[in-house]
């Protein structure tokens, strides 16, 4: 046995004897590790034991194995890594700056299952044959998604999406080159004016980050209720109530779906509602809320602003046979005001590709769009469109013509 193995075994025995929970009492675990390492170092003076080596490195490795997430902890601690996924025990990948890398980490099947069980321990969620998928949030805010056989062919598939906070306000996105200064000022005005904003994009396009930055522009006196499958939003406002969905229990009851949260949010006196992502029939409940005059925001997976609106017209149809496009299409046209499309480009950067207005007109079951800003080359430039509800901008003191004047164009 190596020095690390011996120290690990002694620490685990002490933890069991004292009845500690490693995930809930990390400071106590660190204290025990330091004490065991000190005793081991003293014993090496009078007994033949494996060399200890760097004590800080040994302490870190033992702590990660007992109170952290073992071999994955170093990736969770690395601020440059955005995502970690396991296709099979011998294939652990990471994403850094939007690009994937195969790591040298090799696990066993038992280690993968043990890590997942440890990650789910504090979440109240489970995964088994009857529930082969799970979404959960780790203590550091990372999002965990796991799928097990026989949904996967052989191995457990694990994804950990870290919420790497590089931007909390729209000006941070300007600094990162995600959006132009003029585009950011316009979106901020849209939020303050109470327009309904739809953030669209593909996986890892920065939709949640952009949604967080938009939420930070909400006037501080407003009350925000957010609804998510798993907590990801971080709204920097005092009057904010985050809600998340819940799985069914072992008896198959107690499930709380996203559309339940949207309905409950309307009973909580919101000034504004935010839905982390619309994927299914909850889109209908959100549209009804927005159509009633309640400002709101959400994200949606789509490859363009046009496809985002098309999807918003399709998802509500999943709510039931009595819901038809004759109701949904004009409701979308009246409820959504602005669509922002963001994309992960080849270099790994996130860019806002277009900001479009939804003027409220429908032509042949197609909701009209007017581009306000479009990406041309490396610049987000002014197009010809104007946002709806110009009176709302005027009421809060924004000069819309000056805000959208070409002389304010910036380079993103």
Span 10-22, pLDDT tens digits: 999 999 999 998 8
For 72, which DSSP code?
G
Q: How far apart are alpha carbons 54 and 60 in whole angstroms?
A: 10
Query: In the predicted model, is pLDDT for residue 410 greater than 70?
Result: no
- At residue 408, the pLDDT reads 44
Encode pLDDT of 140-176 as tens digits.
Answer: 888 999 999 999 999 999 999 987 767 899 999 999 9
Q: Which residues is 275 bridged to in the sheet?
A: 227, 298
pLDDT band at 407 (very low <50, low <70, confident <90, very high): low
- Starting at the edge strand found earlier in the chain, the sheet holding 157-161 runs 99-102, 91-96, 81-88, 157-161, 143-147, 133-137
Query: In the predicted model, is pLDDT for residue 409 greater than 70?
Result: no
Q: Which of 208, 77, 89, 227 is nearest to 139 (CA)?
A: 77
Q: What is the length of the chain? A: 412
- At residue 411, the pLDDT reads 40
What is the average per-residue pLDDT within 219-233?
Answer: 94
- At residue 399, the pLDDT reads 93
Residue for token pair 């197609």: 366
Query: In the predicted model, is pLDDT for residue 412 greater than 50?
Result: no
On whether the pTM is more than 0.85, the answer is: no
Residue 352 host element (H or E) = strand 350-357
Q: How far apart are alpha carbons 167 and 69 in whole angstroms?
A: 26
> What are the tokens at 186?
């316009």
pLDDT band at 188 (very low <50, low <70, confident <90, very high): very high
Encode pLDDT of 346-395 as tens digits.
Answer: 777 899 999 999 999 999 889 999 999 999 988 999 999 999 999 999 99
Query: In the predicted model, is pLDDT for residue 233 greater than 50?
Result: yes
Encode pLDDT of 64-116 as tens digits.
Answer: 999 999 999 999 999 899 999 999 999 999 998 778 999 999 999 999 999 99
The widest CA-to-CA distance across the chain, in whole angstroms, is 88
Task: Show Cβ contacts of residue 131 under 8 Å, excluding neighbours closer than 6 positions.
Answer: 247, 248
The answer to whether the CB of 370 falls within 8 A of the CB of 386 is: yes
β-pairing verdict for 272-275 and 296-301: parallel
DSSP states of 274-340: EES---STHHHHHHHHHHTT--EEEEEE-SSHHHHHHHHHHGGGGG-TT--HHHHHHHHHHH--EEE
β-pairing verdict for 91-96 and 81-88: antiparallel
DSSP states of 372-384: EEEEETTEEEE-S
């Amino acid at each position: 046995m190596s020095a690390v193995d011996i120290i690990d075994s002694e620490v685990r025995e002490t933890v069991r004897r004292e009845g500690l929970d490693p995930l809930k009492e990390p400071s106590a675990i660190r204290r025990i590790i330091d004490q065991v390492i000190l005793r081991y170092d003293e014993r090496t003076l009078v007994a033949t034991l494996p060399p200890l080596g760097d004590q800080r490195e040994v302490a870190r490795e033992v702590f990660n194995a007992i109170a952290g997430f073992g071999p994955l902890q170093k990736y969770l601690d690395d601020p440059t890594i955005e995502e970690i996924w396991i296709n099979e025990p011998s294939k652990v990948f990471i994403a850094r700056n939007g690009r994937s890398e195969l790591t040298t980490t090799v696990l066993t099947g038992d280690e993968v299952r043990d890590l997942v069980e440890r990650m789910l321990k504090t979440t109240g969620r489970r995964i088994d044959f009857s529930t082969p998928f799970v979404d959960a949030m780790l203590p550091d805010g990372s999002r965990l998604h796991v799928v097990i056989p026989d949904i996967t062919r052989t191995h457990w598939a694990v994804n950990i999406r870290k919420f790497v906070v590089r931007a909390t306000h729209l000006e941070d996105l300007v600094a990162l080159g995600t959006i132009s200064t003029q585009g950011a000022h316009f979106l901020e005005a849209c939020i303050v004016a109470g327009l309904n904003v739809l953030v669209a994009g593909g996986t890892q396009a920065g939709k949640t980050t952009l949604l967080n930055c938009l939420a930070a522009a909400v006037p501080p006196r407003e009350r925000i209720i957010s609804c998510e499958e798993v907590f990801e939003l971080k709204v920097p406002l005092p009057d904010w109530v985050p809600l998340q969905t819940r799985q069914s229990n072992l008896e198959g009851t107690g499930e709380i779906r996203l559309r339940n949260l949207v309905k409950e949010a309307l009973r909580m006196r919101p000034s504004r509602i935010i839905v982390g992502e619309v994927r299914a029939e909850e889109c209908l409940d959100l549209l009804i809320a927005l159509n009633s005059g309640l400002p709101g925001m959400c994200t949606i997976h789509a490859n363009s602003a046009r496809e985002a609106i098309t999807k918003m017209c399709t998802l509500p149809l999943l709510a039931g046979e009595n819901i038809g496009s004759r109701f949904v299409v004009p409701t979308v046209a009246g409820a959504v005001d602005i669509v922002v499309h963001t994309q992960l480009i080849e270099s790994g950067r996130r860019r806002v590709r277009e900001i479009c207005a939804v003027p409220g007109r429908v032509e042949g079951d197609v909701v009209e769009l007017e581009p306000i800003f479009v990406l041309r080359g490396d610049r987000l430039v002014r197009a010809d469109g104007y946002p709806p509800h110009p009176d709302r901008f005027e009421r809060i003191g924004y000069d819309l013509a000056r805000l959208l004047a070409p002389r304010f164009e910036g380079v993103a």
